[in-house]
Amino acid sequence: MTSTETTRAVLLYPSLKSIPGYARVLVLIVLWVLATATAFDVPNQMKTHLHPLNNNADQVTPEDLIRLQAPSQTFSVERKMDASNNTAIANMTLPNSLNFVKSRSISLSPAPLLNAKGCPPPKPALIGVPSLLSFDNAVRRKFLRDLYIKHNQLLPEASQIDFKFMYGISSKPQFSFQMALERLSNPNDTLTTSHEENMNKGKTLDWFLFARNLSYAPHPTQPGKWCQKYLYVGKTDDDAVIHVPRLSARLQELATNKSSQYIGRVWGKTKKTDLKHMTGMLYVVSLDVLEWMYSNPKETPVSGVLGEDLQFSRWILDAQLDVEWIDETRFHDRPRDGELSGWSPAPITNQTIVVHYARKGWSTLQVNAIKMLGLIALWTMCALCAAELHMIAKKSSLSPSTTEPLQSQLNEALNASVDTFSDMSPPPSSLILETRLPNGSILLQWHPSVLPYESCPQEPQPALVGIPTTLDQKNTVRREFLRYHYTRLNKLMQTSKQIETRFVLGLGKAKQAPYQTAIEMNAHLEDSVVTNRTEGVTNGKTLDWFQRARNMSYYRHPSIEGKWCRKFRYLGKADDDSIIHLERLSALLMKLSLSPGSQFVGRRWDRGNEYPELKHMTGMLYLTSLEVIEWLSFQPIPPQDRNKLGEDIQFARWIIQGNLSVSWIDRDDFHDRSEDGFPVGFSHRPVGLDTVVVHHCKTYQQFFKCMWRLFDREFK
User: Tell me: the pLDDT tens digits for 484-507?
Assistant: 889 989 999 999 999 999 999 988
Q: Which residues contact 83 (CB under 8 A, 6 or more apart)?
A: none
In this predicted structure, what is the pLDDT of residue 565? Answer: 96
In this predicted structure, what is the pLDDT of residue 87? Answer: 27
For residues 65 and 299, give the distance between their C-alpha atoms in angstroms, rounded to a whole number: 14
Nearest to 466 by CA among 447, 482, 452: 482
For strands 670-672 and 568-574, give the pairing: unpaired
- Whether the Cβ atoms of residue 377 and residue 390 lie closer than 8 Å to each other: yes
Phi then psi dihedrals of residue 602, to 5 deg: 175, -160
User: Which amino acid, residue 460?
Assistant: P
Which of 318, 340, 362 is a domain's end point? 340
Over residues 135-151, the mean pLDDT reads 81
Tell me whether residue 106 is in a domain: no
For residues 111 and 288, give the distance between their C-alpha atoms in angstroms, rounded to a whole number: 10
For residues 678 and 668, give the distance between their C-alpha atoms in angstroms, rounded to a whole number: 18
For residues 65 and 94, give the distance between their C-alpha atoms in angstroms, rounded to a whole number: 13
Are 15 and 94 in a shared domain? no
For residues 61 and 65, give the distance between their C-alpha atoms in angstroms, rounded to a whole number: 6
Task: Tally the C-alpha atoms within 13 A of residue 43's C-alpha that lie toward its C-beta.
Answer: 6
For residues 512 and 492, give the distance between their C-alpha atoms in angstroms, rounded to a whole number: 38
In this predicted structure, what is the pLDDT of residue 678? Answer: 58
What is the reported pTM? 0.55
For residues 598 and 432, give the distance between their C-alpha atoms in angstroms, rounded to a whole number: 12
Are 53 and 15 in a shared domain? no
Tell me whether residue 379 is in a domain: no
Sign of CA pseudo-dihedral 505, 506, 510, 514 = positive
Are 599 and 677 in a shared domain? yes
- Whether the Cβ atoms of residue 241 and residue 316 lie closer than 8 Å to each other: no
- Whether the Cβ atoms of residue 553 and residue 566 lie closer than 8 Å to each other: yes
For residues 100 and 119, give the distance between their C-alpha atoms in angstroms, rounded to a whole number: 19
Q: What is the 3-state secondary structure (H, E, C) of 523-549?
A: HCHHHEEEEEEECCCCCCHHHHHHHHH
Phi then psi dihedrals of residue 214, to 5 deg: -100, 0
Q: How confident is the model at residue 31 (pLDDT cuts 50, 70, 90)?
A: very low
Greatest mean pLDDT among 365-379, 390-404, 596-610 = 596-610
Provide the 8-state DSSP code for 303.
-
Which of 308, 340, 372 is a domain's end point? 340
For residues 386 and 373, give the distance between their C-alpha atoms in angstroms, rounded to a whole number: 11
Are 492 and 454 in a shared domain? yes
In this predicted structure, what is the pLDDT of residue 196? Answer: 80
Task: Tally the C-alpha atoms within 13 A of residue 422's C-alpha that lie toward its C-beta.
Answer: 25
- Higher pLDDT, residue 305 or 636: 636
Are 21 and 132 in a shared domain? no
Over residues 156-175, the mean pLDDT reads 88
Task: State the CATH number of the domain containing residue 532.
Answer: 3.90.550
Are 541 and 524 in a shared domain? yes
How far is the CA of 324 from the CAs of 62, 107, 231, 285, 327, in angstroms? 26, 11, 15, 10, 10
For residues 282 and 401, give the distance between their C-alpha atoms in angstroms, rounded to a whole number: 31
Are 16 and 83 in a shared domain? no
At 108 the three-state DSSP class reads coil
Residue 301, pLDDT > 90, answer no
Q: Which residues contact 90 (CB under 8 A, 6 or more apart)?
A: 53, 55, 77, 79, 191, 192, 210
Nearest to 165 by CA among 192, 139, 196: 192
Are 29 and 174 in a shared domain? no
In this predicted structure, what is the pLDDT of residue 677? Answer: 56
Greatest mean pLDDT among 124-138, 363-377, 671-685 = 124-138
Are 534 and 589 in a shared domain? yes
- Higher pLDDT, residue 587 or 701: 587
Nearest to 587 by CA among 466, 657, 499: 499
In this predicted structure, what is the pLDDT of residue 23? Answer: 54
Q: Which residues contact 370 (CB under 8 A, 6 or more apart)?
A: 388, 389, 392, 515, 518, 519
Phi then psi dihedrals of residue 456, to 5 deg: -105, 155
In this predicted structure, what is the pLDDT of residue 15? Answer: 45
At 673 the three-state DSSP class reads coil
In this predicted structure, what is the pLDDT of residue 269? Answer: 60
Are 17 and 129 in a shared domain? no
At 268 the three-state DSSP class reads coil
For strands 528-534 and 499-507, give the pairing: parallel
Tell me whether residue 113 is in a domain: no
Neighbours of 677 (CB within 10 A): 7
Tell me whether residue 385 is in a domain: no
Provide the 8-state DSSP code for 300.
S
User: Tell me: the pLDDT tens digits for 309-339?
Assistant: 888 888 888 888 889 999 999 998 877 644 4
Tally of domains within the chain: 3
Q: What is the DSSP string of 339-373?
A: EE-SSSB----TT--EEE---SHHHHHHHHHHHHH
For residues 490 and 585, give the distance between their C-alpha atoms in angstroms, rounded to a whole number: 11
User: Tell me: the pLDDT tens digits for 348-379?
Assistant: 888 889 988 766 544 445 445 544 544 322 22
Q: Which residues contact 475 (CB under 8 A, 6 or more apart)?
A: 469, 576
Which of 286, 315, 340 is a domain's end point? 340
| Bridge partners of residue 266, in order along the sequence | 278
Tell me whether residue 373 is in a domain: no
Are 496 and 637 in a shared domain? yes
Secondary element (H or E) of residue 80: strand 76-82
Tell me whether residue 411 is in a domain: no
Secondary element (H or E) of residue 622: strand 621-625
For residues 182 and 189, give the distance between their C-alpha atoms in angstroms, rounded to a whole number: 10
Are 91 and 146 in a shared domain? yes
Nearest to 373 by CA among 357, 351, 356, 358: 351
Residue 165's domain spans which residues?
45-99+124-340
Residue 50, pLDDT > 50, answer no
Distance of CA 380 to the CA centre of its chain: 23
Tell me whether residue 87 is in a domain: yes
| Bridge partners of residue 655, in order along the sequence | none
Q: How confident is the model at residue 589 (pLDDT cuts 50, 70, 90)?
A: very high
Tell me whether residue 481 is in a domain: yes
Over residues 178-201, the mean pLDDT reads 80
User: Tell me: the pLDDT tens digits for 502-545?
Assistant: 999 988 877 777 767 777 776 787 899 988 888 776 778 888 99
Average pLDDT over all residues of the chain: 74
Over residues 226-250, the mean pLDDT reads 93
